Structure formats: structure tokens, C-alpha cells
A and B are shown apart, each in its own frame.
Chain A
Amino acid sequence: MAGRGAGGGGRKTRNFATFRLFPRAGAADPNDRVFVRVDNNDYNVPGFADEDPFDSNFTADAADLHSFASGPLPEHVRREILELGLPDDGYNYLSHLRELRPAASAASSFVPNSTARPEPLPLDVKAYDASRVRVAPSADDLDEGKTMCKVAAKTAPLRRVQRALDPDVARLLDESDFSHGGSEDEGLEEDFVIMANQAEGDDEVEEEEEELGNGIFSDVEEEKEEEEFEDEPKPRVRRLLDEQFDLLALEEYGDSDDDDDDRGGRDGDYELPSEAIEELKLFCDQNGCVDEDYRTPADFVRGRLESTTADEVDESANVIQKCAEYAERYLNEPAEEKETVLVSESSDESEVWDCETIVSTYSNLDNHPGKIETPGNRRKRLPRVFPGETATTNDLIKLHGKEKLPVDYLPQRKRNGEKEKKVKPAEAFNAEKVKKEVHKETKEEKKARKAAVKEEKREARKAKKELKGLYKSETQKAQKVAAVTGPSSIRLIEACYGHCNSSTAMLTEGEQ
């Protein structure tokens, strides 16, 4: 009823409002939509519209920005624009911001830039990377020369310096350098065994071990080592003995073994079980190599199944003696006594047959072991080999006559008649006619004969053309096959013509 209020002249009052769902600009999710008014009527629907007319921004700054459309942007807006790195030219770039979609940020954002080159230094500045230099904790013992050498050895000149954009990023970068230090390079400390066995109370020694473990810097640590372990001034390389000595020291002066279980995981990566630690200790102390249950195959063969005691392997004299003993035993003992049999590996493999086993080294291209042929009259007949006919066509069964019978393989009757008919068509007439009167009929007969021959030839030519067309594809295929497998001297296409000829000749004969 409100619709009819205006009357006839003007437009009817439009008391409605139309809204459309649009995806929110700058939204991460395309399904995040808001209602936007799309008409210009005066009708107001309180509470439905989500925001002002649709050409404005959706942020809280919208109202401010509208009022500032011509003037300068409000301060907080400008600050934010600057923080993003965008220029401060009076345009509100914030309206073009978009939220990151969660999937996009997880998968694709922030790939390290492989082509970015750090900025080159200005010409009056030289930079050195001194991150690997270790400053000795006690500076008293070092003289300047040594320090300078160490520093020089560890620093590298830089030609480019990467400048971080953000002070936060730069700070983070600096922090990470300190925490990782030198141990980024080696995954596991060299003397993790010692560290695992280390007494917890021994903080001094612990620190030292860590320094030793880093292993890059020789001078500083060597000095320390010399200070503490005066009995054994060894070069750096002999780690085994170092460990042995440490274990010995630990045993005599250190804590009990119970601590080892707790601190197995000092590094966090590697944890030795206590049994392993004890074994290692045994190993280090006794300098031996063998447990009670260790056997070699040689032991089985020689019958030495009893436990071999932990002999000292290092002594060469002993070894020679033992070898001599073995040799004696080997000569004297019969080999059959022993139960265990050592089987050589190769026999296992050769017993298994696979498709690559070679039966003969002759190639089948040249070597044709006897061919199996069709049984029957094959060899009794005269071999009819037409020129160009290959072995491939010899085993075809030819069908002749109206009934298309395989004539060669039928039980034989009237061989003479057949033979005459097939083998010598041209001469058959001659043979017959000669018996008759010779003179007068010779001309006529000659004419007849010649006409007949001509007819034959004409028909043969026709049939040949027909068959050639029909079988051209076949000959091409056969030629392909022959090109791969058969001897190349044979040309099948012509051979096929020959075959066609022979077959047509037979057909015509059969019909006649």
C-alpha cells in the first residue's frame, strides 16, 4: 500500500532497498562476503547494511579517510604506509592491502631469494668476517704475535655486505651467530664419549671438553691441555689415548658410574647406554679386542670353539707364533672332521636358472638348426622353386581349383595327368596335338595355341595387377619383417609378385 502513494504522474515511491552479497575486498577467504547496497532509494533499512555505500573502505579509518579525501592523510595512516615501505605521497595505499590466505602463507610465502646479491661495499670501507675467531678467555698467556696469527687465520675478507632491512631482523641475525658459534659445522663433538662419561660436578673440565670438542683452534686449547695434563703431552691427533687417560682418571678420581646413565644425553643427539660405556672402558683399559663370545669363521674351521681369551694383538711375536700353529694344524688335521662347511658363494648363484643363461653362443641369424616342416608329400614332389621365391613361401599350402583344395596334400591320384597339367601348360597342347595330324592343323593349331597363350598372358597380367593391388600392404609388411630378420638379399615384393604369378597360373589352370 505504501507503493501506491505517489499517484499517476511521477514515479511510484520506491520503498525498498536492495543489497547484494559481494566478497569482501582484501579478504583472505573468498567466501567472506558482505551485503552491499546497490540502489539509490531513500528507503533505509536499519541493521541490515554492513557498511556505507559500496565504494568506500571497510576499515575503521573509512570515515576519517572520506573526510580527508582531498587533504593530507591522518598521521597513523601515514605512519603505517611508511612502515610498509610504500612512499608517502598522499595516496592511501592501505586500501589496496589484502589479507594473506592461510594456505598461501603456509606453502608459498617467503622463499629465500637466491638471486639477491648483498650490497657492494662503498669504496672507502673494507669489511672482514670475523665470526669464526675465538677470543681466548684468559688473555694473559698469549702474546700478540700468536693472537694476530689466529685472528688472521680465521677472518675472511668480504666484498659485499648484506644489509638487513629491518632492525629486528638484523638483531635476530646477530643473536643467532652467538648461540651457534662453531658447532654448526660438526654435527657431533669429537669426544662425545668423554663428555658422556664426564662427571657432572666437573664444570671446569666440562668447559674444556667443549672447547676441545670444537676443535678448530689449536693454540688456545693445547696450552690448557698442557697445563692440566702434564704427564701426557700428546699431539692433538691421538684421541684414543686421550679418552683412555680420561677414563682412567675418571675411574680413579671421578664419580661413580651411576652418573653416566643420567648424563648420556648431554649433547641431546647421542646417548650411550651404560653397558656400551663400560665395554668401551674395558676396551680402553685392557687394550684388548675380544669378548668371550666372539668367533671368526676360521675358529669354526679349526675347531677352536672354546672361548679365546683376550690376547694382546699388538704384540707381533705372538701373532707369528699363532700363524705357525695354525699352519701346522691345517696340515695335520683331516678336513672332514668338522661339521661346519664353508660353502663358496659362486655355487649358489649358478644353480639358479634365469632367462639369461646361455645355451649356445651361435646366433640364430646364421645358425638354423633343423626346421620342422609339414608332414606328407613335401619331399616327394619336384621342388618347384620360382625365381625370387624365398624360404618363407615354401611352407604355404596352396589351394587350387574351384573347391580350393590343398592339392599337394590330398591322397595322390592320377599323378601323371596332374603333373602334365600343372607343370607344363604351354607344352601340354603341343604334346597332345603332335600326336594328331601335323601339317594342316599346325597352322591353325599354332594360331589357336598362340591365341591361347596370349589370352593366358592377358589374363595373367590382369590378375597380377589385381593381386598386386590387393596384397601391396602385405608385401610391405613382409618386407619390413624381412628387413629386420631375414637376409637382405631377398626382395620380397618381387618375390610376392612371383608368387602371385604362380598362384594365378595355377588358378587359371585349375579352372580350365
Chain B
Amino acid sequence: MAAAAVYGAGGAMKGGKLGMEGAVDMQLNRIRITLSSKNVKNLEKVCADLVKGAKAKELRVKGPVRIPTKVLHITTRKSPCGEGTNTWDRFEFRIHKRVIDLISSPEVVKQITSITIEPGVEVEVTIADV
């Protein structure tokens, strides 16, 4: 994954930082949480909760990155038959996506994500080496 590679490049730096901190003994991973949903409000709420939870546990968080929303258009004739003025319906389906990056151990992340979940929000977690 290109993103993983990019992070890999920066990984040394992060590893250094981690070494300095020292107190954290458990294994840390880079964790990317991707949240996607049709519903902006729920999505923002979940994002905010996650960030808040992570900050409460004193993890390093890269705040919600908003990926441009994908709009799927469906344009159909309104008429069920071919007769009449050619009027068209324009439907759209919006997918919003947010990305949150953390550095922590997987157990902590599991805790955080288990608490705050709204219906309709899809969560994907990618775990890689630090």
C-alpha cells in the first residue's frame, strides 16, 4: 500500500521518538481508521468521539482527514412509459469518508472503537508496523 510505504519512510523517525518516550512498553502499531458513511452528521459524531477517546488515552492522533465526498449520480426518466415531456430525475448518493491515524496498540484501539459506533457508519481499521 502506497500509504504504508510513505509511513514506512517516516517510520524511523517515529521509532526514534518512541524510543525516547520509553515508558510505553507495549507494542505499538500505526493504525489507520477509515470511516465512511452516507450520513455526515453521524460520521462527524463518530469521528469526534474517536479523536476524543484517543486523546483521552494520550495517543498520538492525526485528526480526521476529510477525503472528498464521492457523489454517485443516477439520472433516470421520471416517466414509467415513454410518453410525455422528457423529464428526468437526478438522484445522488453521497459517500463521506474520514481517515484517522493513530499510533497505539491494537487492544486500545479495539476498546475505543467498540464504544462509539453509530448505525450507518462503516469502520475499517488497518494495522501496520510502526
Chain A interface (Cβ < 8 Å from any Cβ of B): 1-4, 12, 14-21, 30-31, 33, 35, 38, 43, 45-48
Contacts and interface: CB of A to CB of B under 8 A. Distances in A.
B127 interface: yes
Given A12-B5, A20-B124, A48-B110, 18 more contacts: A1-B9, A1-B11, A1-B12, A3-B5, A3-B8, A3-B11, A4-B9, A15-B128, A16-B128, A19-B124, A21-B122, A21-B123, A21-B125, A31-B117, A31-B119, A43-B128, A48-B106, A48-B107
Interface of B: 1, 4-5, 7-9, 11-12, 29, 106-107, 109-110, 113, 117, 119, 122-129
B106 A47 contact: yes
Contacts of B124: 18-21, 38
16 contacts: A1-B8, A2-B11, A2-B129, A3-B4, A3-B7, A14-B1, A16-B129, A19-B125, A19-B126, A35-B110, A35-B125, A45-B106, A46-B106, A47-B107, A48-B107, A48-B127
Contacts of A2: 8, 11, 129
Nearest to A46: B106
B119 A30 contact: yes
A496 B122 CA distance: 74
Contacts of A45: 29, 106, 127
Contacts of B126: 16-19
B9 A17 contact: no
Contacts of B129: 2, 15-16, 43
Contacts of B107: 47-48
A303 to B, nearest CB: 82
Given A16-B126, A45-B106, A48-B106, A4 B8 contact: yes
Contacts of A19: 124-127
Contacts of B1: 14, 16
Contacts of A4: 5, 8-9
Contact of A17 (B8, B110, B119, B127): B127
A57 B113 CA distance: 23
A3 B3 CA distance: 10
B7 A33 contact: no
A15 B7 CA distance: 12
A143 B31 CA distance: 92
A375 to B, nearest CB: 60
A16 B125 CA distance: 10
Nearest to A33: B117
Contact of A20 (B5, B7, B123): B123
A46 B4 CA distance: 19
A4 B4 CA distance: 10
B34 to A, nearest CB: 9
Q: Which of A1, A15, A46 has the most CB of B within 10 A?
A: A1
A21 B116 CA distance: 12
B113 A21 contact: yes
A443 B27 CA distance: 129
A180 B106 CA distance: 61
A50 to B, nearest CB: 8
A30 to B, nearest CB: 7
Contacts of B7: 3
B111 to A, nearest CB: 11
A426 B126 CA distance: 105
A28 to B, nearest CB: 15
Q: Which of A15, A16, A35 has the most CB of B within 10 A?
A: A16
A58 to B, nearest CB: 16
Contacts of A31: 117, 119
A20 B122 contact: yes
A498 B113 CA distance: 86
A33 B125 CA distance: 13
A33 B113 CA distance: 10
Nearest to A30: B119
B104 to A, nearest CB: 11
Contacts of B123: 20-21
Contacts of A35: 110, 113, 125
Nearest to B121: A21
A4 to B, nearest CB: 6
Nearest to B126: A18
A38 B123 CA distance: 12
Contact of A16 (B4, B11, B109, B117): B4
A14 B4 contact: yes
Nearest to A50: B110
B8 A16 contact: no
Nearest to A44: B127
Nearest to B35: A21
Contacts of B9: 1, 3-4
Contacts of B4: 3, 14-16
Nearest to B106: A48
B95 to A, nearest CB: 15
A4 B7 CA distance: 10
